[in-house]
């Protein structure tokens, strides 16, 4: 592998869904990560988030992208494409 190939930044497009979880004491409700899907394009991730929420499979969904530098294993902060329904604060 050449140095150029090793330093190529990878972009990941993620759809992440959330469900409600009630705590044992007090019946308080919190958000819980449910499913996570990875796609090759931003539009695929966004469409999946919209579909999951529309079908009632979750109470909230994020579609976002992150960058990864394979040479250092560093992952950047997420850049949100869409945030739908009930999601955690940024």
Distance CA 9, CA 65 (A): 13
| CA distance linking residue 15 with residue 61, whole number of Å | 7
Which is it for strands 79-85 and 74-75: parallel, antiparallel or unpaired? unpaired
Distance CA 7, CA 41 (A): 21
User: Within 13 A of 56's CA, how many CA atoms are on the CB side?
Assistant: 0
pLDDT of residue 30: 86
Write the pLDDT tens digit of every residue in 18-69.
999 887 776 777 899 999 999 999 999 999 999 999 999 999 999 999 999 9
| Residue 2 or residue 88, greater confidence | 88
- pLDDT at residue 4, rounded to an integer: 52
Specify the pTM.
0.81
User: How many whole angstroms separate alpha carbon 67 and alpha carbon 14?
Assistant: 11
Does residue 6 have a pLDDT over 70?
Answer: no
Query: Domain residue spans in the chain?
Result: 3-84
């Amino acid at each position: 592998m050449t140095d150029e190939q090793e330093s190529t930044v990878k972009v990941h497009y993620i759809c992440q869904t959330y469900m409600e979880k009630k705590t044992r004491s007090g019946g308080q409700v919190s958000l819980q990560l449910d499913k996570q899907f990875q796609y090759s394009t931003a539009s695929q991730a966004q469409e999946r988030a919209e579909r999951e929420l529309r079908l009632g499979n979750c109470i909230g969904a994020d579609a976002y992208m992150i960058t990864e530098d394979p040479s250092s294993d560093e992952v950047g902060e997420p850049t949100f494409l869409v945030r739908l329904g009930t999601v955690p604060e940024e």
